[in-house]
Amino acid sequence: MIGRLNHVAIAVPDLEAAAKQYRDTLGAHVGAPQEEPDHGVTVIFIDLPNTKIELLCPLGDDSPIAGFLAKNPSGGIHHICYEVEDILAARDRLKQQGARVLGNGEPKIGAHGKPVLFLHPKDFNGCLVELEQL
Q: Is 130 a catalytic residue?
A: yes
Catalytic residue among 54, 83, 130, 132: 130
CATH node for 5-133: 3.10.180.10
Segments of the chain assigned E as strands: 5-11, 29-30, 34-36, 41-47, 52-58, 76-84, 108-109, 115-119, 128-133
The tens place of each residue's pLDDT in the chain, 134 residues long, gives: 899 999 999 999 999 999 999 999 999 999 999 999 989 999 999 999 999 999 999 998 889 899 999 999 999 999 999 999 999 999 999 999 999 999 999 999 999 999 999 999 999 999 999 999 99
CB-CB contact of 41 with 56 (8 Å): yes
Q: What is the pTM of this model?
A: 0.93
